Amino acid sequence: MAFASILRKSANSLAPLAIRITRVQRNYHSCIFTALSQGLQSQQLAVNRFFPNTFRFSSAAASRKPSSDESLIRVLESEIQCAEEEDGAGQVEGPPSGFPFEIEDTPGIQTVTLMREYDGELIKVDVHMIDHGNEEEEGEDNEGDDYEKENNISIPLVVTVSKKDGTSLEFNCTASPDQIAIDSLGFRGPNPEDELAYEGPDFHDLDENLRKGFHKYLEIRGIKPSTTNFLHEYMMNKDNREYVNWLKNLKKFVEA
């Protein structure tokens, strides 16, 4: 009995000690966790203090365009507006009465194609963009004279007259207001290897009557000043339309 009493007293005296030890361990771990948390918070505060807007700045910098791009966009917008106003002022009413060709004009393509049939022949005219070379060369001597500059603008034409058997004549021409010049003449056979055949002399070396005969040959088929004068105005208008579309494509690219 006495021994059991001693054991109960010893156990009762040890229990508070065990509880204190457990509390000390819990407090110790709690202190470590708190210290670590406070240390991490202190480090984060330090980072935020020295680099306050790092992440926000990075995302903003990625989405914001350089000022040079914004300036270029404004210049493009101004040029588009001016070109559209000029385009609206120079609209072509339409082909003149009796215009014999059908016009194929695809936006973005530099050439316009004219097509017609004449007495069993297929007449095809590839009209190229206006040649501003003569305008620039003569511009120095005729500054301020818009009429003279306009008369110096020429249109390159390639006229192909094809027969049903596949043979054809190909004329390279230059059309100025009220005037058509034949620069070269070539005969084409039905086979690809015929392109290596003899091309004939330079057109300007032909006899004068022969040159006049070929000019009359084209005139009967619709290649005459009344036709090319309309094409002159039409291609000037197309040149400006293509320029506007080109500017708009550039603006879209810079903005993207």
What does the pLDDT average to over 5-22? 44
**pLDDT of 159:** 97
Q: Is the predicted pLDDT of residue 24 greater than 90, yes or no?
A: no
Q: Is the predicted pLDDT of residue 204 greater than 80, yes or no?
A: yes
**pLDDT of 195:** 62
Other CB atoms within a 10 A radius of the CB of residue 231 amount to 24
Long-range contacts of residues 75-81, Cβ cutoff 8 Å, at least 24 apart: 76/247, 76/250, 76/251, 76/254, 77/251, 79/247, 80/244, 80/247, 80/248, 80/251
Which helix (H) or strand (E) is 255 found in, with range? Answer: helix 225-255
**pLDDT of 254:** 93
Which segment of 69-78, 130-139, 175-184, 192-201 scores lowest on mean pLDDT?
Answer: 130-139
**pLDDT of 131:** 67
Q: Is the predicted pLDDT of residue 141 greater than 80, yes or no?
A: no
Please report which confidence band the pLDDT of residue 194 belongs to, taking 50, 70 and 90 as the band edges: low
pLDDT per position as a tens digit, 76-123: 999 999 988 887 665 666 888 889 999 999 999 999 999 999 999 999
Q: Is the predicted pLDDT of residue 215 greater than 80, yes or no?
A: yes
DSSP 8-76: HHHHHHHHHHHHHHHHHHHHHHHHHHHHHHHHHHHHHHHHHHHSTTHHHHHHHHHHSPPHHHHHHHHHH
**pLDDT of 146:** 55
- 3-state secondary structure at position 239: helix
Stated pTM of the model: 0.66
